[in-house]
C-alpha cells in the first residue's frame, strides 16, 4: 500500500523534462512510480534513473516530497512501526524533546519525573523552589529521613546544633531521655529556665547513637526544617534521602504543567528521550515531525528504502 504525500509536481516536471500539460492530461491520477515507468518506456533517460538519482539525494528528496511540510513528515512517520519511531527520537534536539512533553498529562509528567535519576529530579525541583520553601512544604516524616540518613555526619550535626537556642536543645534532650534538661526547673529573674547551652550540647553529643538520633528527631518542626537546610548546604546529597514522590507531590500541588516543562531543560537528553518513548505511537510520530528535514531525508535514504518505495507507489 502506498503513502500519499503532497508532492511538488512542478518540480517533478522540471527534474524530468515532462510538460505540465502531459502531467495534467495524460498522467492525472497516476503515481510517481507509474509516471516514471511510462516516461522511461518513452525514452526519458532521466526518468529511468529516478530511483538512483532522487531516492539517494537528500536535497532532491526534501524538495520533491516536500519534507519541510509537517503533514508530509507525519504521513511518512505514521507508516513506521513503534520500534522504528523510537530509534528516531534521539535525533531530535533537546528543545524539540522538551516541546514533546506537552503531549503528556500533568499526572503522567509527574509520574515520569518520579522515575528520573534522583540527581536530575532534585535539579529540576530546585529550579522551581528554594531549599527553604521546599522544606517548609515538605512533610515532617520526609524531613526526618534526612536526619536518619546513612549519609548524615554527626560532626556536621553538632556543628549546627550550636546555632540552636538552649530552649530547643532542652526539648531535644528531653525527647531523647524522657528527663527534663538541667536548669529547666531553675527559673531566672526573667521568668525563663536557667539553661546552659554549652552544657546541653555536650550532654546531647554524649548520648548513645540511638538516643542521639531521637534527640535530633525531637527538634521542633520548623526549627528542624531550617536546621536540615543548613546541613544540606554543606552536603546536598542529604536531599536524596527524601522519597521522590514527596518531591513530585509538592510540585504537583504548587506548579502547573507549563511550569514543569519550562524548567525541563535541566533534564539530560537521555532521560528526555526515555520520557518521549512513553507516548503512544501516533503522538510519537507527531513529536518527530519536528525533526530536521535534511536529517530526516538522510535517515530515510539510509534505513527506510521500503518507505520511499511506498511513497513512490502512492
* 112 has pLDDT over 60: yes
Residue-wise pLDDT tens digits, 39-93: 999 998 888 888 888 888 899 889 888 899 999 999 999 989 999 999 999 999 9
Residues making up the chain, counted from first to last: 314
Where along the chain do its domains lie? 9-94+281-313, 100-273
Residue-wise pLDDT tens digits, 199-209: 999 999 999 99
- Please give the backbone phi and psi of residue 187, each rounded to the nearest 5 degrees, phi first: -95, 130
* pTM of the model as a whole: 0.84
Cβ–Cβ < 8 Å for 3, 75: yes
Three cell numbers written together for 203:
550532654
Res. 191 pLDDT band, cuts 50 70 90: low
Three cell numbers written together for 185:
526547673
Three cell numbers written together for 245:
514522590
Residue-wise pLDDT tens digits, 158-181: 999 999 999 999 999 999 999 998
* 287 has pLDDT over 60: yes
* 132 has pLDDT over 90: yes
Three cell numbers written together for 90:
534521539
What pLDDT shows up at residue 7?
A: 77
Angle in degrees, 0-180, between the axes of helices 9-16 and 32-41, rounded to the nearest 10? 20
Res. 187 pLDDT band, cuts 50 70 90: low
Please state, in angstroms and as integers, the Cα–Cα distance from residue 28 to each residue in 12, 20, 35, 250, following that order. Answer: 14, 11, 9, 61
Residue-wise pLDDT tens digits, 229-279: 999 999 999 999 999 999 999 999 999 999 999 999 999 999 999 999 999
* 185 has pLDDT over 80: no
Amino acid at each position: 500500500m502506498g503513502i500519499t504525500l503532497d508532492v511538488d509536481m512542478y518540480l517533478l516536471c522540471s527534474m524530468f523534462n515532462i510538460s505540465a500539460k502531459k502531467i495534467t492530461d495524460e498522467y492525472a491520477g497516476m503515481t510517481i512510480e507509474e509516471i516514471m515507468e511510462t516516461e522511461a518506456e518513452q525514452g526519458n533517460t532521466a526518468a529511468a534513473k529516478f530511483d538512483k538519482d532522487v531516492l539517494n539525494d537528500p536535497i532532491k528528496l526534501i524538495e520533491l516530497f516536500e519534507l519541510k511540510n509537517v503533514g508530509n513528515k507525519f504521513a511518512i512517520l505514521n507508516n513506521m512501526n513503534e520500534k522504528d519511531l523510537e530509534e528516531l527520537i534521539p535525533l531530535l534536539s533537546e528543545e524539540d524533546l522538551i516541546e514533546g512533553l506537552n503531549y503528556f498529562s500533568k499526572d503522567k509528567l509527574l509520574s515520569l519525573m518520579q522515575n528520573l535519576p534522583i540527581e536530575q529530579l532534585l535539579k529540576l525541583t530546585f529550579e522551581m523552589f528554594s531549599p527553604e520553601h521546599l522544606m517548609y512544604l515538605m512533610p515532617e516524616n520526609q524531613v526526618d529521613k534526612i536526619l536518619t540518613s546513612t549519609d548524615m555526619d554527626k560532626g556536621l550535626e553538632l556543628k549546627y546544633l550550636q546555632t540552636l537556642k538552649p530552649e530547643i536543645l532542652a526539648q531535644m534532650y528531653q525527647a531523647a531521655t524522657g528527663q527534663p534538661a538541667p536548669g529547666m526547673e531553675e527559673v531566672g529573674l526573667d521568668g525563663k529556665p536557667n539553661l546552659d547551652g554549652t552544657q546541653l550540647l555536650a550532654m546531647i553529643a554524649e548520648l548513645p547513637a540511638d538516643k542521639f538520633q531521637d534527640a535530633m528527631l525531637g527538634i521542633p518542626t520548623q526549627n528542624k526544617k531550617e536546621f536540615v537546610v543548613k546541613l544540606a548546604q554543606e552536603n546536598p546529597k542529604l536531599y536524596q534521602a527524601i522519597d521522590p514522590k514527596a518531591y513530585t507531590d509538592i510540585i504537583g500541588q504548587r506548579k502547573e504543567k507549563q511550569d514543569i516543562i519550562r524548567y525541563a531543560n535541566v533534564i539530560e537528553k537521555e532521560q528526555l528521550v526515555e520520557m518521549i518513548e512513553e507516548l503512544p505511537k501516533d503522538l510519537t510520530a507527531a513529536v518527530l515531525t519536528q525533526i530536521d528535514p535534511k536529517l530526516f531525508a538522510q535517515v530515510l535514504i539510509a534505513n527506510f528504502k521500503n518507505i520511499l518505495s511506498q511513497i513512490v507507489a502512492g
